[in-house]
Amino acid sequence: MRRIVMAAALVLLAACNSGPVVVDGSSKDAAEKSIAEMTAALPDPQKREFETAIDMGWSLSEIAGKTADEIVALARAKMVAELKQQTVPDLQARIAPAEAAVEEAKKGEGSAKRFLAGISLLNPDLTWRQNTDGSPAPLLTFNMKNDTSEAIQTIVFVAKVGPGGKDKAPWIDQRFTFKFVEAVTTGESKFVFVTPDLSLAGNANALAARDAGKGAYRYSIDFVSVADLNGRVIMDDEAVAKAEAELQAARDALAAAEAEIARLEAGGSIVAP
């Protein structure tokens, strides 16, 4: 009988030494003290779970008398509810507009080609100068004639300059944005000049062009987008790719949210990885 009494006393002593097992709801100070003691008594990763749950913010009435596991479960349920009631509906609402944007962009592909047919690029040339420090500086130039019905203020294009022969790597391969001082109106021709950046990977072989004869140059200038004097994009050759990327991003985000709900409902950790 004495052995049983001693064992019971030891259990009681261990319980006393382990600190509170529930949040003390008698006052704010008592709650904070009990939470600190509960946190200190927990091993990792339970401690990180509990700290994450507490940091989500609760009224004292919501967590008073609850164990660490119960508060973590409460936090998990809150996270699931927010995902189901806010995140998922918001992401679902993005899908239909994104799908519509893809269809609209595909419809515009034909008009983009017709628009580009009204732009002529004349006399492309690559010349070399010297910077103030004596280093070589290339200058790519051409004239742009606008036979479209729109005034053009800004052009984005990819320029490639390379040796003759389609299978040879270009000396210069760079994307440029050029804004005219004044818009190029219908029927006008204006001068375009850009300076290739020799530090870019696409221009790694640019210096090889300095010793090439004029007949050795092959020019390729492909328009990416064109904007009018108000900044309105008239033509965007990447519109379909951009719209499809937005749609895929929306679908991926929705799938990730749904997977997170399933993970949490299965008892997964509430601690962000």
**How far apart are the C-alpha atoms of 33 and 27, rounded to whole Å?**
10
Note the pTM of the prediction, 2 decimals.
0.68
Mean pLDDT by 10 residues, the chain (273 residues): 37 45 93 94 92 94 94 96 97 96 87 88 92 90 95 96 81 96 96 95 90 81 92 90 96 97 95 81
CB atoms within 10 A of CB 212: 15
Tens of pLDDT, residue by residue over 43-59, are 988 999 999 999 999 99
pLDDT the model gives residue 168: 81
Predicted local distance difference test score (pLDDT) of residue 167: 73
pLDDT score, position 212: 79
Give the pair of three-digit tokens for residue 163: 């040796």
Q: 131 — phi, psi (to 5°)?
A: -70, 170
DSSP 206-265: GGGGTTS-GGGEEEEEEEEEEE-TTS-EEEETTHHHHHHHHHHHHHHHHHHHHHHHHHHH
